[in-house]
Chains A and B, each alone.
Chain A
Amino acid sequence: RKEVEQDPGPFNVPEGATVAFNCTYSNSASQSFFWYRQDCRKEPKLLMSVYSSGNEDGRFTAQLNRASQYISLLIRDSKLSDSATYLCVPATDSWGKLQFGAGTQVVVTP
């Protein structure tokens, strides 16, 4: 089993709609989590950090389910600029080494 699994998508979302997708992780010792967004041919950029049960930042909400070992990301009122690949990253290494998921592609359409 992979350490981090994500549905590659693409999730095609009409502008203004809500989209949610999950990420499952295998290491139950993971204490903190990160969501990164990566635009086409660009570097990943940190979107959100999750240190407890969840986090909310504007239109973005992350929820952590430790019992089932998954973390979700929800995007409300989707904008065209939200089109990107979203990478799930559980932090399992006490020295800060991160294991990246392969990402979920989101395409917001007019």
Chain B
Amino acid sequence: DVKVTQSSRYLVKRTGEKVFLECVQDMDHENMFWYRQDPGLGLRLIYFSYDVKMKEKGDIPEGYSVSREKKERFSLILESASTNQTSMYLCASSWTETGYTFGSGTRLTVV
């Protein structure tokens, strides 16, 4: 089975901190994605990547950046955490023609 591993299950950070969320997949997938999920809003795409060192903005990129230095790793960076970034963050990976496999998520609270 494809495994997508997110480094932390729960995180609590202070406003203004720089936050790194790490995601690693083990099946050589081309595509990787970062979503956030909030009640009533569903999953919203933050950033995605189709290849190493390649990144594309999703629907809500403001306040976030990403890094993909190796094919298996896709990092989400909150440059200066704010309380409105409190959310569940989900990483996913896939081949182009298939559905996603998700990581177990990181529940981030910014205080």
Contact = CB atoms under 8 A, between A and B. Distances in A.
Contacts, number: 51
A44 B102 contact: yes
Contacts of B105: 42-43
Interface residues of A, number: 21
B62 to A, nearest CB: 18
Contacts of A34: 99
A60 to B, nearest CB: 15
Interface residues of B, number: 26
- The DSSP consensus for interface residues of chain A is loop
Interface string A63-105: 0000000000000000000000001010000111110111100
Given A42-B105, A43-B105, A89 B42 contact: no
Interface of A: 32, 34, 36, 41-46, 49, 87, 89, 94-98, 100-103
